[in-house]
Each structure stands twice: as C-alpha cells, then as structure tokens.
Amino acid sequence: MLVVFIGPPGAGKGTQAKRLREHLAVPHISTGELMRNVESSQTDLGNQVGECLRRGELVPDDLVIGIVEQRIGQPDCENGCLFDGFPRTVTQAVQFDHCLKTKEKSLDLAVALSVTRPELISRLSARGRRDDTPETIANRLDVYDAHTLPLLAYYEQRGILANVDGTGSEDEVFERIKQAIDRHVTETA
C-alpha cells in the first residue's frame, strides 16, 4: 500500500506514520529526515539544504523529487511505503504521480491530519528541534498554508483524500487513521 501523510508541522505525521508502518508492514519515509541527512553531508548541496531547513523554507522541488525517486526504487519499497512530509507542493504531487506511473504503481491514499494553529504552536514549542524556534515555526506554518494546503484539493479531486482529525491522544488519532484506511480498502475492494 502506498500512502502519503499530509499535515502541518506538529500535526503528528511522523509519530503516526511510524505506528502505521508496523500495522501495514511497509517502510516509513520521512523526507525531513532525508533532507537532514543531505544537510549533514557537508557538501555544497548540504549547505544549501541546511539553509532551507534553518529558515523553515521548502527545499526545491527537483531536489526533493530526485531523492524520493531514488528512495522508492529501493527493494524494500516493492510492496509500498508511507511518506511523511512528502509531497509538500502540487508540483511534487504531480511529478510523484508521473514517477509512479512509469513504475506501474499509483498512490492509494492521502491522509490529511488537521490540528488548529494554536495547538500546533504549543506542540512544536515543546518539541525543541533545531528548526522549532518561534520564527521558524511561524514561517513553516505559513509555508504549509501557502504551498501544501492546495494539495488537499488535488487529492480530493482524485478521490483518495482521507481527512483525519489530528487532535486528541496518539491512540485516538491512530484509531481514526486505521479506520480511514480500512474504509478505503473496503471501498476499493
């Protein structure tokens, strides 16, 4: 099964994707983690990516797509995978669809986690990651609204969007996600 998790920073994409990885027995791919790996390579590219991360800006689409294409070509993705933090722009989503088509695959479901902005700010401030400073948090939330939110309409049109309320305990949210996936599996069976 091929699933993407969409949601603003702090919505719980990483936490939930890791739990779902066990449930669906497919790898979990966090593009944020892939980008942090590129950053630590201490090359020119690494410095360029690091600059985007520090500012809370998106890494350029072509670079992200190239890295994702390489990753899904690995044998462990043969039976699908879960993306967390990808795609983040409509361009990425369109290019991703194209890339999957050439591999005779297609996306099964886009899970969109929603959480209110004040709740996100409070969760991110408590997390303390290097890009969780107040300025970067505000920028990442604005970037999400401007560039990533339009993805929901894109996937809704395709009939593969599952909106999930991301508030409440981790267990509650996980139950909602499992229900959305089961519903999708039943509908498409």
Q: Which residues are catalytic?
A: 13, 88, 127, 129, 140
In angstroms, what is the minimal distance from the CB of 79 to ligand AMP?
A: 22
**Are 112 and 6 in contact, with CB atoms under 8 Å apart?**
yes
Under the criterion CB under 6 A, does residue 50 sit at the interface with ligand AMP? no
In angstroms, what is the minimal distance from the CB of 63 to ligand AMP?
A: 8
| Residue of the chain from 7, 8, 9, 12 that contacts ligand AMP (CB under 6 A) | 9
In angstroms, what is the minimal distance from the CB of 129 to ligand AMP?
A: 8
Under the criterion CB under 6 A, does residue 35 sit at the interface with ligand AMP? yes
Under the criterion CB under 6 A, does residue 7 sit at the interface with ligand AMP? no
Closest by alpha carbon to 136, among 60, 51, 62? 51
Closest by alpha carbon to 140, among 154, 151, 153, 130? 130
12 vs 85 by CB, closer to ligand AMP: 85
Under the criterion CB under 6 A, does residue 31 sit at the interface with ligand AMP? yes
x/- letters, 51..70, toward ligand AMP (CB under 6 A): -xx--xxxx----x------
Closest by alpha carbon to 26, among 105, 82, 85, 104? 82
Which of the residues 129 through 188 are near ligand AMP (CB under 6 A)? 140
Contacts with ligand AMP by CB under 6 A lie at 9, 30-32, 35, 52-53, 56-59, 64, 85-88, 92, 140
